[in-house]
């Protein structure tokens, strides 16, 4: 699914209005009607509802929601914020209707002392600002935002389209923003919802289709995307009936050192569970038995060194469809030298994680020697070591994308919505996964999965989109059965089978 900027969303609205065609008033009624229906599905008409409306079209949505809920018998109070701006046309139209039909339900608020006394259990609807916000909320309006946030533990807060105060496409650091439990976002995700610095604001995001014109959506290029199951179904390749293990590639995994062999075992298991035909793991001598017992289906080559890997470059030859390197590897100078020699001989896209990334941050010239189309999988700290720090998440996203283009690599910045930056400048956010995956070893599992998919001849882009999706999906299945607390990285591997079956049900 594309993620459009606020300006593109305005264009989509305008395109829909002139080409469907539909009046802007009716489009607002359609959009806000979806919100009202969402609320009616979840709350009984006994529920007191307070709708805070700004004077733009987001406020107009609030008025339409008020009208619809009042018609259904909900005790709604429409709190209209009177901050002096001129009201939008569609706001004015719906204000007149509300005023005519339910004058007693309107409460005008002109300063922070007008903030209403909320009855227990009241639901707050935030329709103050949406995508039209063009500067931080200030003055007494900011006071209203703080008042609403002060009662967030006692009352459910539902934001219409966006939490008010949040910028769709830029940083809102240190600005007053509503802390919503739910955001009912029209038609698309906004970029701001996907970045960790905004974690407190949008809550659970529900994207409500409002019938924006499909022609605009397909024809307008977007830089940012969020992955979905339909995209995965175009990528996934079922196995062929006459396949043999050679069909699905031989992967080499270079991982492990004394004390971190578990990372190597997790990556190896995940690589095989992702479907690699054959896997050889290169480990230090101390890891031989651990690996042979930990994953009997993997072959094992041992280093000259007992405790860490120093001679893996001698292993890397054309036999291997791809290489995954990094989990538990260590960062000794001898390991770094072997990595450099490996890069001199091995030219296919590979997966680079953990300590292999840390080696790259110490010897950044090696970044230019990576095979084009290789995949870097940093978490935020590793990213910072590699490419430096930024003052906010939007700048970091820019830096991520710029580096992927400059180096012609795929760079995955891991997190709640892992951001996958492609060499052509596009960025995909992954939608699956949960905080149960914030546990040691989850990243090693991802490296294994990506290596396994590359071995099977998925293109790097396909391997990443599918691999990151399945990793998160398996994590979601694991947490549903085991809880986010009790699940471990190994459980993500154990649920890979169910993830494949549930995303790609075999044809009968
Ligand atoms: N036809 C349409 O355009 C549709 C728009 N919809 C709604 O319209 C919203 C966008 O509406 P608008 O563009 O009117 O924008 P908003 O309702 O977000 O309000 C912005 C208005 O307030 C002013 N403003 C911006 N930041 C301010 C600040 N910090 N302090 C005080 N005033 C500020 C702006 O100049 C603008 O007039 C969407 O988020 C969505 O809720 C929906 O009704 C769907 C259809
Ligand atoms: N809150 C979360 N929501 C979704 N996914 C998460 C969350 N926390 C962690 N993950 C995922 O778990 C993995 C953690 O990777 P990483 O930090 O490298 O772990 P490790 O180094 O312990 O293996 C990443 O793929 C990340 O996207
Ligand atoms: K809002």
Report if residue 508 sits inside a domain: no
User: Residue 470 is encoded by which pair of tokens?
Assistant: 């399945």
Residues with CB under 6 A from ligand 1: 13, 24, 27-28, 31, 54, 56-59, 61, 85, 88, 129-137, 160-162, 186
Ligand 2 centroid distance, CA of 304 (Å): 32
Domain check: are 29 and 101 in the same one? Answer: yes
User: How many whole angstroms separate alpha carbon 258 and alpha carbon 240?
Assistant: 40
Domain check: are 32 and 129 in the same one? Answer: yes
Report whether 380 contacts 443 (CB < 8 A): no
Give the domain CATH number at 173.
Answer: 3.40.50.10260
User: How many whole angstroms separate alpha carbon 381 and alpha carbon 359?
Assistant: 14
Q: Ligand 3 (ion): which residues have CB within 5 A?
A: 58, 126, 159-160, 164
Residues with CB under 6 A from ligand 2: 379, 414-416, 418, 433-435, 437-438, 440-444, 446, 472
Task: Please enumerate, by residue number, every residue annotated as part of a binding site for K(+).
Answer: 58, 126, 164
Ligand 3 centroid distance, CA of 159 (Å): 5
pLDDT digits (tens, 9 = 90+) for 207-258: 999 999 999 999 999 999 999 999 999 999 999 999 998 899 999 999 999 9
CA proximity to 63, closest of 108, 115, 22: 108
pTM, 2 dp: 0.96
What number does the ligand 2 atom closest to the CA of 441 have? Answer: 23
Mutate to test the pocket of ligand 1, among 4, 13, 30, 56 (most ligand atoms within 8 A of CB): 56
Q: Is the dihedral of CA 482, 226, 178, 210 positive or negative?
A: negative
Task: Please enumerate, by residue number, every residue annotated as part of a binding site.
Answer: 57-61, 126, 130-136, 161, 164, 263, 328, 379, 414-418, 443-444
User: Residue 238 is encoded by which pair of tokens?
Assistant: 């079922």
Nearest CA to ligand 1 atom 5: 57
Report if residue 239 sits inside a domain: no
Report if residue 504 sits inside a domain: no
Ligand 1 centroid distance, CA of 34 (Å): 18
Report if residue 377 sits inside a domain: yes
Q: Is 230 left (phi over 0), alpha (psi -120 to 50) or beta?
A: alpha
What number does the ligand 2 atom closest to the CA of 439 have? Answer: 22
Report if residue 506 sits inside a domain: no
User: How many whole angstroms separate alpha carbon 270 and alpha carbon 398?
Assistant: 31
Ligand 1 centroid distance, CA of 180 (Å): 18
pLDDT digits (tens, 9 = 90+) for 5-33: 999 999 999 999 999 999 999 999 999 99
Give the domain CATH number at 363.
Answer: 3.40.1190.20
Ligand 1 centroid distance, CA of 412 (Å): 34
Whether residue 3 is predicted with pLDDT greater than 90 in this model: the reply is: yes
Q: Does the ipTM surpass 0.90?
A: yes
- Domain extent, residue 267, equals 229-234+245-499
User: Residue 243 is encoded by which pair of tokens?
Assistant: 């396949």
Among 161, 190, 222, residue at a domain's last position: 222
User: How many whole angstroms separate alpha carbon 22 and alpha carbon 10?
Assistant: 15
Among 189, 222, 255, residue at a domain's last position: 222
pLDDT digits (tens, 9 = 90+) for 275-317: 999 999 999 999 999 999 999 999 999 999 999 999 999 998 8
**Count: domains in the chain:** 2
């Amino acid at each position: 699914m594309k993620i459009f900027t606020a300006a593109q969303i305005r264009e989509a609205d305008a395109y829909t209005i002139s080409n469907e065609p539909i009046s802007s008033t009716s489009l607002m009624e359609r959009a806000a009607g979806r919100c009202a229906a969402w609320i009616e599905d979840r709350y009984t008409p006994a529920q007191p509802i307070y709708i805070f409306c700004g004077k733009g079209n987001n406020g107009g949505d609030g008025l339409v929601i008020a009208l619809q809920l009042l018609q259904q018998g909900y005790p709604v109070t429409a709190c209209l914020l009177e901050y002096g701006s001129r009201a939008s046309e569609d706001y004015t139209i719906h204000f007149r209707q509300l005023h005519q039909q339910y004058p007693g339900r309107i409460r005008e608020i002109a300063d922070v002392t007008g903030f209403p006394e909320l009855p227990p259990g009241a639901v707050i609807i935030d329709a103050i600002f949406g995508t039209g916000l063009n500067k931080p909320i200030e003055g007494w309006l900011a006071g209203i935002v703080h008042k609403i946030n002060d009662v967030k533990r006692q009352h459910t807060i539902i934001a219409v389209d966006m939490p008010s105060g949040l910028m769709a496409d830029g940083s809102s650091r240190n600005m007053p923003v509503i802390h919503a439990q739910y955001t009912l976002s029209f038609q698309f995700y906004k970029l701001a919802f996907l970045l960790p610095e905004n974690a407190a604001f949008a809550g659970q995001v529900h994207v409500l289709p409002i019938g924006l014109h499909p022609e605009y959506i397909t024809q307008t290029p977007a830089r940012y995307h969020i992955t979905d199951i339909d995209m995965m179904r175009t990528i996934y390749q079922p196995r062929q009936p006459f396949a043999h293990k050679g069909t699905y590639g031989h992967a080499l995994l270079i991982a492990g050192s004394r004390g971190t062999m578990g990372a190597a075992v997790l990556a190896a298991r995940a690589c095989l569970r992702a479907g690699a035909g054959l896997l050889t793991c290169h480990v230090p001598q101390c890891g031989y038995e651990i690996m042979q017992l930990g994953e009997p289906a993997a072959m094992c080559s041992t280093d000259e060194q007992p405790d860490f890997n120093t001679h893996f470059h001698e292993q890397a030859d054309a036999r291997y469809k791809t290489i995954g390197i990094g989990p538990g590897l260590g960062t000794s100078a001898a390991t770094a030298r072997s990595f450099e020699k490996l890069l001199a001989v091995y030219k296919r896209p590979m997966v680079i994680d953990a300590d292999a990334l840390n080696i790259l941050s110490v010897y950044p010239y090696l970044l230019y020697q990576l095979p084009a189309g290789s995949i870097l999988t940093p978490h935020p700290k590793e990213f910072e070591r590699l490419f430096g720090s930024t003052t906010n998440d939007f700048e970091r996203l820019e830096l991520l994308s710029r580096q992927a283009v400059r180096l012609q690599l795929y760079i995955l910045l891991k997190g709640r919505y892992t951001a996958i930056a492609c060499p052509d400048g596009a960025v995909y956010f992954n939608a699956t996964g949960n905080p149960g995956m914030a546990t040691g070893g989850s990243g090693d599992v991802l490296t294994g999965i990506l290596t396994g998919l590359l071995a099977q001849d998925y293109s790097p882009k396909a391997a990443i989109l599918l691999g990151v999706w399945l990793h998160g999906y398996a994590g979601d299945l694991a947490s549903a059965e085991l809880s986010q607390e009790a699940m471990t990285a190994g459980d993500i591997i154990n649920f890979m089978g169910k993830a494949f079956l549930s995303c790609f049900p075999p044809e009968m």
